[in-house]
Structures are given as structure tokens and as C-alpha cells.
Amino acid sequence: MLSSRFSKAVELAIKAHQGQVRKGTTIPYIAHPLAVASLVLEYGGNEDQVIAAVLHDAIEDGGEAYAPRIEAAFGSEVLALVQACSDGTAEGKAKATTPAAKRTDWRRRKEAYLQRLETEDPEALLVTACDKLHNARAIVADLEVVGPAVFDRFTAGREGTLWYYGQAESVLRRRKCPVADPLGEVLIRMRQLAHGWDEFDAVTEFSAALNPNQRKKFRAVLGGLQSASQQVLMEGSRALGTASSLQQRLMAACQHLDSAQERPVKCARKPS
């Protein structure tokens, strides 16, 4: 059960995000932290984690002054969770004023954030994973209505955004976070809508024909390979050779699953 601390956290978050809206929409920003808090509850988070979810963007979007306010109201553990979910502060991000500077600053912050996720406390990892899941779902929802132009809203554009979410999903999967699977499924759809790749239609049909256990394994392999492919494609001259290797592995995995489906099932003999 949530106590009155949760209500106080919502009040503070409303102040931190007063007048803010979601990128490219008229949706009040507070809808996002509330949705993240709901996901944290769904995945079994405790009250401190839920409060941190409500306040996870308070420092990043509201400013450094919210750090002592969060600590005073909810304690050092909640503040630590909020800081773990933040990749900067409102003041820090405001220092980059040109598009080029903003892209450079964005990349630096995201790379440092991803590195931190590798060793982040599991409690903080759940909160930040739910944040990524809700954001990814929102991007997909907008892609289905607006199309790839949605990425114009983001500092890093289409390729940078896909890279970031792919890397986050890979870290969460390595850390065995329960949110990795649903995030991976959303990212498959995000990449499909972002690029309009026909291959994804065939993959989706193939996946639908598998049993639940096969489908889970196949999507995990596909999500991991696509994340890796996206990364190497952005690294330069070595991308083509590495991506080709990854594609061959993906084709081999598909062929293996095909042959597994076609292999007859041996029935046990009836007792005489």
C-alpha cells in the first residue's frame, strides 16, 4: 500500500514539471512520471521506487534545487534512486545552446548513463527500465500516427534515438532486468516503423507461428542482434563487415528454428 508520501511526491513532481509538455504534443509532462510509477508498481517495486519514479525527471527538468527538496521530504535513498535515473541537470543541459553542441552533449550524457547502468543498483535499474519502456511505447504510438518525422523532435534524430534505446535494452538484458523483454518487443516495432523494413513483416509472421517459449527466445535473439547491428552501423568503416556477420547469424538462427519446427515429434510407445 502507498502512504501519504506518494501524494507528496506527486505534488512535488507537478511543481517540477509545471508548464512542461511531452515532446511534440500538448500532453502535460506529469503524465510521463505517473505512467512510469505505474509500471514500477506493476513490476513489484516498493514505495521508495515508486516515489523515485514520480520524481525521476525532477532534477533533470526542474533543476538542481530539487535534489535537497527530495532528500528532505523522502530521504537519501529516494534521492539516490532519482539521481541514478538522471543523466544530467536542467542547468547542465542548458549550457549547450547550438544544435551541434546539444548533439555532442546528448551523446556524452547518454554514453556515461549507459555505462552506469552496467553496475547500477537493481532497485534503481527497475525504475530507469520502466522509464525507458514508457518512453519507447510513446515513441511507437507517435510513429504509428506521424511516421518517422517523429524523430525530428529528438536531439539525436532517428539513428541516435534507435542507438540509445537499443543499447539500454542490451544492458537491461545482460542485467536480467524483467523489463528487458517487453522493451525489446517495443523496439522491434520501433525499428520497423522507423525504417519501414519489409524484412520485419516476414519476421513478425514467423514469430507468430512459434510456440510461446520459441517466440521468447527468438525475439531475444532478434532484439540483441538488431541492437548490435545498429551500433556497428554507426561506428564507421567496419560496419558493413560486422553487420553482414550479424545478419548471417540471424539467418542461421531462423533456419535453426525452421528445422526445429519441421522435425517430427517422437511419441512414446504405449505400454503393452
For every residue of 142-203, DSSP letters joined together read: HHHHH-GGGGGGSTTHHHHHHHHHHHHHHHHHHTT-TTHHHHHHHHHHHHHHHH--THHHHH
Instruction: List the grid coordinates of 140.
Output: 511507437
Is a pLDDT exceeding 80 seen at residue 249?
no
pLDDT at 238 over 90: no
Q: What is the largest CA-CA distance in the chain?
A: 82
pLDDT of residue 272: 47
pLDDT the model gives residue 57: 94
Instruction: Grade residue 88 by pLDDT with cuts at 50, 70 and 90.
Output: confident
Q: How far apart are CA 168 and CA 114, in angstroms?
A: 7
Q: Give the number of other CB atoms < 10 A from CB of residue 131.
A: 22
Which grid cell sits at 234? 554507426
Give the residue with greater pLDDT, 221 vs 12.
12
CA 12 vs CA 159, 165, 183, 233: distances in Å:
34, 28, 28, 42
How does 54-84 read in b/e, with b if 16+ C-beta sit within 10 Å?
Answer: bbbbbbbbbeeebbebbbebbeeebbbbbbb
> Does the model's pTM come out above 0.75?
no
Q: Residue 47 carries which side chain, given as an amino acid letter? A: E
Burial of 239 (0-12, 13-18, 19+ CB in 10 A): middle
Contact (Cβ atoms closer than 8 angstroms) between residue 12 and residue 58: yes
The mean-pLDDT minimum among 73-77, 92-96, 238-242 falls in 238-242
Q: Which sign does the torsion angle of CA 145, 146, 151, 154 carry?
A: negative
Mean pLDDT of the chain: 85
Give the whole-angstrom CA distance, residue 216 versus residue 208. 11
What pLDDT shows up at residue 24?
81
| pLDDT, mean of residues 60-67 | 93
From 19-28, 62-71, 122-131, the region with the lowest mean pLDDT? 19-28
For the range 256-259, what are the long-range contacts, defined as Cβ-Cβ under 8 Å and sequence gap of 24 or more?
Answer: 257/206, 257/210, 257/214, 257/218
26, with CB counted inside 10 A (0-12, 13-18, 19+), is: exposed
3-state DSSP assignment of residue 44: coil
The whole-number pLDDT of residue 230 equals: 62
Which band of pLDDT confidence, cut at 50, 70 and 90, is reported for residue 198?
Answer: very low
Mean pLDDT over 118-122 rounds to 94
Strand partners, 28: 21
